[in-house]
Amino acid sequence: MIKMMRMVAVVFLLVILAVEATWCQTGEATMPQIVEKDGRHALLVNEKPFLILGGQAHNSSAWPGMLPQVWSAIEAMHANTLEVPIYWEQLEPQPGKFDFSLVDTLLNQGRVHKVHLVLLWFATWKNGSNHYMPEWMKREAAKYPNITGRNGQPVDSPSPHTQAAMEADAKAFAAVMGYLKKADPQHTVLMVQVENEPGAWGSVRDYSANAQKLFEGAVPAELLKPEILKALNKPVDVKGTWQEVFGDDADEYIHAWSVARYIGYVAAAGKAVNPLPLYVNAALRDPITNPKANTYESGGPTDNVIPIWKAAAPAIDLLAPDIYISNSEKALKIIDLYCRPDNPLFVPEIGSGEEYSRYLYAVIAHGGIGFSPFGIDDNGQGQGKAETEARLASIAQEYAMAGPMMRELAKWSFEGKIKYVVETEDHAEQTIDLDSWQAIVKFGASGWRENKPNSRPIGKAMVVQLGENEFVLIGTLCHFTFKPVGANEGKAWQYLKVEEGHYENGIFKLLRIRNGDETDWGGPRFNNMPVVLHTTLITR
């Protein structure tokens, strides 16, 4: 009996140690850091790859009275990270006088809930406008002007050409980063977003006299490097004014350059005092049709101007897409466009509906460092626990599966071992190449021998290749089978073992071995709830 009690105590201690190792609650932790290898990326937290399973609060929910609803949502969705704004207007109520009380509240509550934070610096730009500038700046429109439209009309978007505003933002942002350095040695905060969806709606660029002079001047040498011009599909040997070098794209490109330079300056000021990873999020344009710049937010890091942003704002670690397009061809194209050797993939905002959950698999398989549906809290609607849980059910079940194995997923993803498919609008069957095997994935809710088609395209699957014949299969609303190909072509085969279970502290815990009806009739089936199957195949 005493031996038994001792064993229970040891196991209990191991669990506590494992939780503490993942969540460093006290004392200093190492700086979160983004690393790159062979064009893939990982976010290292306490020196190991970490996958942000996040949720973003509504814009006005970072106030103490609103936070209980935010934490209920985070809990309901099993998220490990909360993305939450901090507001320049609240933080610097008078020039040079800073109030970090909301930051303190977030840090304290994040630690109590054992949830990391990504702070969103709502400052000069929030969705293209200046609405989070402090009152004392809003009252001085001449000193902190907005841009001017093509016909001289006022535009609700701050000028990126105003030194005074840029200096003020940089000073406040450096103060925030300096405060975090002191108040957050345990790195509750993993990353900071600089501004929010910057750029301008309602005008492609600034047409004020000052901006017009810049537009008629020479393009800066930094943008004339052949690799940048090539990436922008422009001739590499042209010099001259914006119009001469960039033609029809000149208006958008100068605005992108000016906004990125400003934000790059703010970011560099913060990074100099505290080198946390920094990113900027983008209000996207249609990723396929190359639309005109006056149809989307101009000047932000849309896919077509990523090279300009990279040149103008080197202190920014990554440019991140906010995905509110659920169509699979477009959403997957966006993921592709923002996953580049020079740009770690991170999706800081995405719709919270069921049709968006499938893209979590795409982000993980692409080596993405995180995923975060927007607007998770009830925004003051007074929803109860049950309503909140129902609203977030789809992503919650994915996070419940992925959370306990997030370190493994992040590592496999960094190593390029994960492949995926998501159900497309035509519900077509898809294949995944796995060297001497091909996985064939059909979508639908499983009956015993047949699939019932999904009414909406929400099925998904991922495969982690652990060895030649050894795989982890994860999915919902689909059905897997395998075909021997390449070196295995034409061979007879069977499942050696299909183990269903979950990962806990790095160890696979078996729930059951699937066999008989659960693997015959064409292979393992996945229903509504994501399931993890450790699967070994054999040829004979």
Question: Which parts of this chain interact with ligand DGJ (CB under 6 A)?
Answer: 59, 127, 196-197, 322, 349, 374
How far is Cα of residue 332 from the mean position of the Cα atoms in its chain? Answer: 14
Gap between the Cα atoms of 475 and 153, Å rounded: 52
Min CB(384)–ligand DGJ separation in Å: 24
- For ligand DGJ, the closer of residues 212 and 327 by Cβ is 327
Gap between the Cα atoms of 197 and 21, Å rounded: 35
Tell me which H or E stretch contains 478: strand 478-484
Min CB(283)–ligand DGJ separation in Å: 7
Q: CB neighbours (10 Å) of residue 403? A: 18
- For ligand DGJ, the closer of residues 206 and 349 by Cβ is 349
Gap between the Cα atoms of 203 and 183, Å rounded: 41
Q: What are the φ and ψ backbone dihedral angles of 131, each rounded to 5 degrees? A: -65, -15
Min CB(202)–ligand DGJ separation in Å: 16
Through-space distance between the first and last CA atoms of the chain, rounded to whole angstroms: 48
Residue nearest to ligand DGJ (CB): 197
DSSP alpha helices (H): ranges in 113-225? 135-138, 163-183, 209-216
Cα angle vertex 62, ends 60, 68, to 5°?
A: 110
Q: Report whether 372 contacts 54 (CB < 8 A).
A: yes
Q: What are the φ and ψ backbone dihedral angles of 224, each rounded to 5 degrees? A: -95, 5
- For ligand DGJ, the closer of residues 58 and 407 by Cβ is 58
Q: Report whether 321 contacts 346 (CB < 8 A).
A: no
What is residue 532's three-state secondary structure? strand
Min CB(394)–ligand DGJ separation in Å: 18
- For ligand DGJ, the closer of residues 224 and 392 by Cβ is 392
Min CB(281)–ligand DGJ separation in Å: 6
Per-residue exposure over 255-273, b if at least 16 CB sit within 10 Å of its own CB, e if not: bbbbbbbbbbbbbbbbbee
- For ligand DGJ, the closer of residues 127 and 203 by Cβ is 127
Min CB(375)–ligand DGJ separation in Å: 7
Gap between the Cα atoms of 512 and 499, Å rounded: 6
- For ligand DGJ, the closer of residues 197 and 317 by Cβ is 197
Gap between the Cα atoms of 146 and 208, Å rounded: 9
- For ligand DGJ, the closer of residues 349 and 408 by Cβ is 349
Min CB(83)–ligand DGJ separation in Å: 10
- For residue 488 the two structure tokens come to 């295995």
- For ligand DGJ, the closer of residues 373 and 457 by Cβ is 373
Min CB(322)–ligand DGJ separation in Å: 5
Tell me which H or E stretch contains 356: helix 354-365
What is residue 331's three-state secondary structure? helix
Q: What are the φ and ψ backbone dihedral angles of 417, each rounded to 5 degrees? A: -95, 0
Min CB(374)–ligand DGJ separation in Å: 6
Closest CA to 429 of 419, 440, 420: 440
Min CB(89)–ligand DGJ separation in Å: 15
- For ligand DGJ, the closer of residues 12 and 63 by Cβ is 63
What is residue 134's three-state secondary structure? coil
- For ligand DGJ, the closer of residues 81 and 465 by Cβ is 81
Min CB(64)–ligand DGJ separation in Å: 20
- For ligand DGJ, the closer of residues 83 and 398 by Cβ is 83
